[in-house]
């Protein structure tokens, strides 16, 4: 059957040759458009590793040096105590399930970035075999629990993770553990910044995205017993809290601002607002231009698909109409409507498949010569490039190629089926009389 179809295509090579070239060009350009869209979509739908719903950030302000309300007599210790009292006010609310004090703006979708070099053992320090990882910090000398508050998952149990110690320990992501030790069984091992500064691993959590529009990457979370006091501590240190199930945020926020917020004006701090983690994610996406990029790529993809659709449908339409006599002859010889449709659809499918193979040759040359596969790097560090299995070079190339091929095939089949369905309805005698 395939041989017969190939022979039929060859017999009409003049017409099919132009279609073949059109599909090659269309396949190449469509591949280059779908590739960055694929990366954006994979990053977006990759599991966050934490929960957004019901999670909020208490944002504080601080009176500046020249402000009339600023108390210049406060010591660092008094300012620290004032900040901790404010955090305690949040914890004491009956609607609050859990909370934590993040240090250095250590929460998802912050504009800042803290990363460094970490060593799995002292020998790797001398050899400079480090792992570059982002690091989050939370205040460990309190009842706050970053893991429970964000709904992070324990690798070992598959359930919600909890902090295990108030000591100066650290927790590592699944990716970090595998990259550093080749396994997730790393509790009790030490991670080093310098030769004499090792910290014990107290737990391993499921990979967590630090930015929604990036994939997951190695991450360390440090249980820090110190709360640094500075003029910027209200910006660097924030109270993150989780509301209990069923609590309406609007009702809670209205009561909180009336009854609790006025008491937070202490230690030169004052209440600003409460923002959800989803609001912070959207704000960062806007600031980084991610949403504009997504909309631009989406619009470009839709426009490209539309142009290719109109061009290919028109071409296949002309191809089918030019063969009305052939269709009439097939019908007069007893071919059913289904057989005629099947014949033309197989021809179109084989034509697109063959042309797409050649378009992939152009794509491979493009990728090799220009490093053209779409990539996203979080920080610019080669060691910190995304490692999602869906974004590994082989998988990415295969998936983008498959999506492109299916899109072209669908367009060709639609462009063939519509005119063929009309042609087979024409009486054989009328079709044979067509010039």
Q: Looking at 1-15, 237-251, 361-375, 401-415, which range is the least confident one?
A: 1-15
- Over the range 227-242, which residues count as b (16 or more CB within 10 Å of their CB) and which as e? bebeeebbeebbbbbb
CA distances from 230 to 61, 62, 75, 159, 267 (A): 13, 11, 11, 37, 12
Residue 147 makes CB contacts below 8 A (sequence gap 6+) with 154, 160, 161, 162, 163, 171, 203, 205, 221
Q: Higher pLDDT residue, 392 or 361?
A: 361
Q: Give the CA diameter of the chain.
A: 104
Give per-residue pLDDT as tens, 210-263.
888 777 888 999 988 888 888 778 778 899 999 999 999 999 999 999 999 999
Residues in the chain: 435
Q: Identify the sign of the CA torsion 366, 214, 48, 187.
A: positive
Give per-residue pLDDT as tens, 175-191.
999 999 999 999 999 99
Contact 22, 315 (CB under 8 A): yes
What does the DSSP 8-state code read for residue 261?
Answer: G
- Phi, psi at 413, each rounded to 5°: -70, -40
CA distance 378 to 364: 25
Contact 224, 137 (CB under 8 A): yes
CA distance 343 to 8: 10
Give per-residue pLDDT as tens, 4-51.
666 666 666 666 777 788 889 888 988 988 888 888 888 778 888 999
- Over the range 376-414, which residues count as b (16 or more CB within 10 Å of their CB) and which as e? bebeeeeebbbebebbeeeebbebbbebbbebbbebbbe
The pLDDT confidence band at residue 382, using thresholds 50, 70 and 90, is very low
Contact 256, 274 (CB under 8 A): yes
pTM for the whole thing?
Answer: 0.78
- Phi, psi at 87, each rounded to 5°: -60, -40
């Amino acid at each position: 059957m395939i041989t017969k179809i190939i022979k039929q295509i060859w017999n009409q090579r003049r017409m099919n040759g132009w279609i073949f070239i059109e599909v090659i060009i269309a396949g190449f350009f469509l591949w280059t458009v779908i590739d960055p869209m694929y990366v954006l979509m994979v990053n977006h739908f990759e599991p966050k590793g934490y929960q957004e719903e019901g999670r909020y950030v208490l944002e504080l302000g601080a009176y500046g040096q020249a402000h009339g309300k600023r108390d210049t007599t406060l010591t660092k210790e008094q300012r620290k105590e004032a900040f901790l009292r404010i955090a305690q006010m949040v914890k004491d609310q009956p609607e609050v399930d859990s909370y934590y004090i993040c240090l250095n703006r250590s929460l998802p979708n912050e504009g800042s970035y803290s990363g460094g070099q970490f060593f799995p053992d002292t020998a790797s320090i001398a050899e400079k075999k480090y792992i570059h990882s982002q690091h989050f910090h939370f205040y460990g000398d309190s009842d706050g629990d970053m893991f429970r508050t964000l709904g992070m998952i324990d690798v070992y149990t598959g359930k919600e993770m909890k902090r295990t110690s108030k000591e100066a320990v650290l927790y590592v992501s699944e990716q970090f553990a595998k990259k550093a030790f080749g396994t997730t069984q790393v509790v009790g091992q030490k991670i080093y910044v310098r030769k004499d500064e090792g910290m014990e691993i107290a737990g391993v959590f499921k990979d967590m995205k630090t930015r929604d529009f990036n994939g997951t990457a190695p991450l360390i979370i440090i249980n820090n017993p110190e709360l640094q006091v500075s003029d910027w501590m209200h910006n660097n240190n924030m109270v993150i809290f989780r509301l209990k199930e069923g609590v309406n945020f609007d009702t809670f926020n209205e009561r909180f601002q009336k009854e609790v917020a006025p008491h937070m004006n202490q230690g030169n701090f004052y209440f600003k607002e409460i923002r959800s983690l989803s609001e912070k994610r959207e704000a960062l996406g806007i600031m980084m231009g991610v949403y504009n990029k997504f909309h631009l790529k989406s619009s470009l993809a839709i426009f490209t698909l539309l142009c290719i659709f109109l061009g290919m449908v028109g071409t296949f339409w002309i191809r089918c109409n030019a063969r009305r006599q052939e269709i009439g002859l097939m019908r007069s010889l007893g071919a059913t409507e289904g057989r005629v449709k099947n014949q033309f659809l197989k021809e179109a499918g084989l034509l697109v498949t063959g042309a797409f193979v050649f378009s992939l040759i152009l794509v491979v040359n493009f990728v090799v010569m220009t490093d053209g596969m779409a990539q996203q790097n979080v920080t610019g560090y080669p060691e910190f490039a995304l490692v999602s299995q869906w974004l590994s070079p082989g998988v990415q190339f295969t998936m983008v190629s498959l999506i492109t091929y299916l899109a072209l095939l669908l367009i060709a089949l639609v462009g063939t089926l519509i005119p063929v369905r009309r042609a087979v309805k024409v009486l054989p005698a009328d079709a044979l009389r067509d010039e």
